[in-house]
Amino acid sequence: MTSMLEILELRGADGPHPEHVDELMLYGRLVGDWSVHNRYRAADGAWRTVRERWCFGWVLGGLAIQDVLYTPEEGPRGTTVRCYDRTAKVWHITWQDPHHGNYVSQIGRPDGDGMIQEGTAQDGTRARWAFSDVTDTSFVWRGWVAVEGGEWEFEQEMHATRD
């Protein structure tokens, strides 16, 4: 029988898979711990701001990156797993927020100095998320949802600085 500790040890990886380092560093450069200033539109339409933490790490033999986004006072908000598809040369991305029943599947690609992710939420709503202004010490993450007529509506922005 496998213990939880063994599962956690098996899941983790020390770094990117050696055969695909360049491709894996698209998201691999985010590995580490970040302080986040998160501004988002709440269900009532009002903008709210919260301080959060976002931690990224290598998993699954270095072919994937998993992150956890959390508020220190309230605990985990959700997790993302980003798996590199060596054949299609894209990233398969799944955000999971079981506390609020929010699940999003996306495909990620390079976009300028950052990354663009597009896909759908569990209710079929299209979602576009982008990392931009990515440096060794900071990045900006923005999120949009498709509204009636197919236009993109801005709904969230996170400014992250490396700890």
The domain segmentation of the chain, as residue ranges, is 4-162
pLDDT of residue 74: 87
- For the segment 107-116, the average pLDDT, to the nearest whole number, is 97
Residue 6: pLDDT over 80: no
Nearby residues of 1 by Cβ (< 8 Å), 6 or more positions away: none
- For the segment 121-131, the average pLDDT, to the nearest whole number, is 96
Residue 7: pLDDT over 70: no
Task: Kindly report the pTM of this predicted structure.
Answer: 0.92
Among 6-10, 23-27, 35-39, 109-113, the range scoring the smallest mean pLDDT is 6-10
Instruction: Classify domain 4-162 at the CATH class level.
Output: mainly beta
Question: At 5, is the pLDDT very low, low, confident or very high (cuts 50, 70, 90)?
Answer: low
- For the segment 20-36, the average pLDDT, to the nearest whole number, is 97
Residue 10: pLDDT over 70: no
